[in-house]
Structure 1
């Protein structure tokens, strides 16, 4: 396996692959880097040299892939993400929460101590995707 193929491969398990509405892929990479400490592993532009065909990020040790929408391939335009929440289990949920809000995420469910033993909340990113952030309650 070439080094490039190794970088492209997901790390393991289920890997979310997000379609970013319009041509927001470049901005999404910048947001995920600021909000969630993402590391960009690779990026490929489409033949038009403008749209993001594929990007592979590492967030909190897991792969996340993303692309701009391609209505000519999917038949859909102005995709609105719904029905899925991406969960981040982290060591310090308050730190991750604050960083996400500073990067312009919008609170959906307030960060609070929950009955199951985690500190937990949800945010929506500027591209419409919902992220939950959870971790241990510090006492």
Structure 2
């Protein structure tokens, strides 16, 4: 695994406001920002201006966030996911398989449009994990 586990916060339309708040609060810099309309990714029309992905960083501290195009549940307005940036295809496959032991697939491990292999699972304890491996070249 590369670096620390990165918290990934999920919002439901107020992601841009959260980015402004967190950058002003702590001096975090925007490493990357992408809206749904910037990517070839299916989404409802009302989510076109939502954040598909935002990466904020200051020194070693990192946080990522996005807006979900899905409706929030009554009990959970915002969600937290843990992101692991993997060093190899073997590592991402091993972690994916282990987290699925008594867990649940949210997104199958697959090649994604941003040049990575990616999968999303809920482990047996109910925590959501994003697994990402940036492919070279």
TM-score, normalising length: structure 1: 0.43
- Greater C-alpha radius of gyration: 1
| Structure with the larger RCO, 1 or 2 (CA within 8 Å, 6+ apart) | 2
TM-score, normalised relative to structure 2: 0.43
